Structure 1
């Protein structure tokens, strides 16, 4: 009876240009002790010509395993491709650049909120609510406007489920869900795009 190896490709791995990726780097492997060296089989060497994204197909992984261990029975579990993301040295952003972007986002979001409140006539709404509750007409119903302003900030914290770096609970925020779906769609596009490039080369 031939020994079996179970291979489950990871969805995405990161590597540096010129780094030799071995089977254990791109997949989870279960194999009997006599064939433990199968995890050290080199399966891919990314280069700058590949761009910053490359796709390694399961067929190529199985081919490498069979050429190194001909008697091994390879069983695949999970995805059929792994996306390899090439990482170069990250450049640390300058403080003035971070401060400028932060200021731009702060002013832009503040203007967006103010324009929204102007469009829906929020001041008149507050004046009307104050009149209905007290019977008095005032230009600045601060008893409503001040709590409402704090409520906007608290509502944003609850909605995004973050207070600085601290999470309020384990549930993902709507923004995190959208980012997750975006990443899933991007990964699927990369896989399909690489398949098309492979077909065009044949």
Structure 2
């Protein structure tokens, strides 16, 4: 009988208290079906041990726990050697008034930023000058330039963020999504170090 198991840790595991954390919550296991079914149900953490919102567990810790129950099993690790456990918390209902206040602040702030930019670069005088060069007439409000420019500004923002309401315009990630991905990676690196019990023990000993 083959006693080899192959394990790949998940990057994230989301646990809803008071759920117990088992191997199948943290990793993908492949191998003999009987061993896999036994291994998947092994408890890694009880609910009382999950105190923080985020917790890092090492593959070595999981392997040691598995081998207590299955001492003759050889476990081969594939991929990452850490998994970040996040606690799922009850979702609070959205406060409509708070959403409207935040929306209003963002709307006013973005409008002021655009207007200040146009004032700094003298956009109106540029459009007046462009109108004069094209038509030979002096006009205070060249609407045939200003209206398409305003519409194009809004369309440009939609194309930049690659979203129209909840619908993605194409398969390419937007610059905002890329920045959010980089930010999430930095958070993960922070959690992997400071929420890792092994690193905390090393810091206490040093």
Q: TM-score, normalised by structure 1?
A: 0.94
Question: Secondary structure in 2 aligned to 1:50?
Answer: coil
**Where does residue 22 of structure 1 map in the other structure?**
22
**Where does residue 11 of structure 1 map in the other structure?**
11
**Cα distance in 1 between the residues matched to 2:159 and 2:175:** 11
**Cα distance in 2 between the residues matched to 1:143 and 1:46:** 66
**Cα distance in 2 between the residues matched to 1:173 and 1:161:** 6
Does residue 1:72 correspond to 2:52, yes or no? no
Using the TM superposition, give the Cα deviation of residue 65 of structure 1 relative to its aligned residue in structure 2, in angstroms. 0.9
For structure 1, the 5+ residue unaligned runs are none
**Where does residue 107 of structure 2 map in the other structure?**
106
Using the TM superposition, give the Cα deviation of residue 2 of structure 1 relative to its aligned residue in structure 2, in angstroms. 4.6
**Number of equivalences:** 202
**Where does residue 61 of structure 1 map in the other structure?**
62
Moved more, 173-182 or 43-52: 43-52
Query: Could you list the per-position Cα deviations for residues 109-159 of structure 1 after superposition, in whole angstroms to 9, with x for gaps in the alignment?
Result: 111111111111100110111111111111111110000000000001111
Moved more, 46-55 or 123-132: 46-55
**Cα distance in 2 between the residues matched to 1:61 and 1:98:** 42
Moved more, 92-101 or 140-149: 92-101
Q: TM-score, normalised by structure 2?
A: 0.93
**Where does residue 172 of structure 1 map in the other structure?**
173
